[in-house]
């Protein structure tokens, strides 16, 4: 039977991580549904869900700082959360799951279908990774290597997500799933725009679950801004997405739905 450890603060957690290499547990909503045998029984489990350093939400200058152990319910209740983060996060799972599930768990689990991912790519967020040796800051696009694979090294925790504040920017988030609630995306589409002064000033587009990691292209976004015809933009994205067949959907459906959502958005 696994031993459970409950560090009281981040420094203690990092010491335990260095010495015992435990399995890190936050909300447990991804870990608890893994197949039996995924982790060795003798591996200790370290609960990080109540570490005070990982539970803060604050604004520092032009950045929102979100502790990795904040649950989605806590995030959605924060007056600091802008709508362009609130819209996708409100579509995650159900209230019961959101009460336990943390943003850090969503990111470290690295599912291509994770709902917190496209918005963070679109916003050029950064992650703060900590270990007993110190901390480092990493752009979100460098952190994810593929399904279930990240740059998180042994002995490291994701401590904080730093998200640039974009006053007045608007988003849409379309999540295509089996049901409206409590289901993972077959694919997702996040678009963020700055229309200050009634003119399109900037645009960010990110797709989830149509490639091993989120698909975003600054080159394609710049072409949209330069007024390239919609059909040519669609051709560009068609080349960028690489959907697969799996239990949730077929690659063909994913590609068609993705392109339809993009076309609707560009023509709106």
Ligand X SMILES: Cc1cc2nc3c(=O)[nH]c(=O)nc-3n(C[C@H](O)[C@H](O)[C@H](O)COP(=O)(O)OP(=O)(O)OC[C@H]3O[C@@H](n4cnc5c(N)ncnc54)[C@H](O)[C@@H]3O)c2cc1C
Residue 99: both structure tokens together: 């009460």
- Residues 13, 52: contact at Cβ < 8 Å? no
249 part of the interface to ligand X, by CB under 6 A? no
- Give residues with Cβ within 8 angstroms of 71, minimum separation 6: 27, 98, 99, 100, 101, 102, 103
Span from 99-107, 160-168, 233-241, 256-264 in contact with ligand X (CB under 6 A): 99-107
One symbol per residue from 15 to 54: x for binding ligand X (CB under 6 A), - otherwise; what is it?
--------xxxxxxxxx-x--------------x------
Distance CA 46, CA 22 (A): 6
**Nearest approach, Cβ of residue 198 and ligand X (Å):** 34
Helix (H) or strand (E) holding 194: strand 185-194
Counting residues that bind ligand X (by CB under 6 A) gives: 30
Nearer to ligand X, 92 or 206 (CB): 92
**Nearest approach, Cβ of residue 121 and ligand X (Å):** 14
Q: How many residues does the chain have?
A: 268
**Nearest approach, Cβ of residue 67 and ligand X (Å):** 9
Distance CA 267, CA 108 (A): 35
For the residues of 7-21, what is the DSSP string, one character each? -SSHHHHHHHHHHH-
Q: Restricting to residues 112-141, which ones interact with ligand X according to CB under 6 A?
A: 114-115
Nearer to ligand X, 26 or 176 (CB): 26
Nearer to ligand X, 25 or 119 (CB): 25
**Nearest approach, Cβ of residue 157 and ligand X (Å):** 4
In this chain, which of 22, 70, 88, 102 binds ligand X, going by CB under 6 A? 102
Q: Restricting to residues 190-219, which ones interact with ligand X according to CB under 6 A?
A: none
- 10-13: Cβ within 8 A, 24+ apart: 10/51, 10/53, 10/54, 10/130, 10/157, 10/159, 13/46, 13/48, 13/51, 13/157
Distance CA 159, CA 184 (A): 25
Please give the distance of CA 97 from its chain centroid, rounded to a whole number: 16
Span from 76-84, 94-102, 190-198, 260-268 in contact with ligand X (CB under 6 A): 94-102
Distance CA 257, CA 267 (A): 15
**Nearest approach, Cβ of residue 92 and ligand X (Å):** 4
13 part of the interface to ligand X, by CB under 6 A? no
92 part of the interface to ligand X, by CB under 6 A? yes
One symbol per residue from 150 to 189: x for binding ligand X (CB under 6 A), - otherwise; what is it?
--x----xx-----------------------x-x-----
**Nearest approach, Cβ of residue 160 and ligand X (Å):** 9
Give, as one character, the DSSP assignment of residue 22. P
Interacting residue ranges for ligand X, rule: CB under 6 A: 23-31, 33, 48, 68, 92-93, 97, 100-102, 104-106, 108-109, 114-115, 152, 157-158, 182, 184
């Amino acid at each position: 039977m696994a031993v459970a450890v409950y560090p009281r603060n981040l420094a203690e957690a990092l010491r335990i991580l260095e010495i015992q290499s435990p399995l890190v547990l936050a909300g447990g909503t991804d870990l608890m549904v893994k197949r039996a045998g995924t982790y060795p029984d003798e591996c200790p489990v370290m609960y990080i869900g109540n570490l005070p350093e990982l539970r803060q939400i604050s604004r520092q200058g032009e950045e929102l700082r979100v502790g990795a152990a904040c649950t989605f319910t806590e995030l959605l209740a924060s007056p600091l959360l802008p709508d362009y983060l609130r819209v996708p996060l409100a579509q995650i799972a159900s209230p019961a799951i959101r009460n336990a599930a943390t943003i850090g768990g969503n990111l470290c689990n690295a599912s291509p279908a994770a709902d917190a991912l496209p918005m963070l790519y679109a916003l050029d967020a950064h992650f703060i990774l900590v270990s007993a040796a110190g901390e480092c800051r990493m752009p979100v696009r460098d952190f994810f290597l593929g399904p279930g694979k990240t740059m998180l090294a042994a002995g490291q925790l994701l401590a904080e997500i730093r998200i640039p504040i974009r006053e007045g920017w608007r988003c849409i988030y379309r999540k295509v799933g089996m049901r409206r609630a409590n289901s993972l995306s077959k694919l997702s589409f996040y678009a963020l725009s700055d229309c200050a002064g009634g003119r399109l000033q900037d645009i960010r587009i990110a797709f989830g679950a149509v490639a091993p990691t989120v698909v975003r292209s600054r080159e394609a976004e710049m072409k949209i801004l330069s007024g390239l015809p919609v059909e040519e933009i669609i051709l560009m994205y068609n080349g960028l997405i690489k959907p697969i067949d799996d239990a949730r959907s077929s690659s063909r459906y994913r590609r068609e739905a993705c392109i339809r959502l993009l076309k609707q958005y560009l023509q709106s």
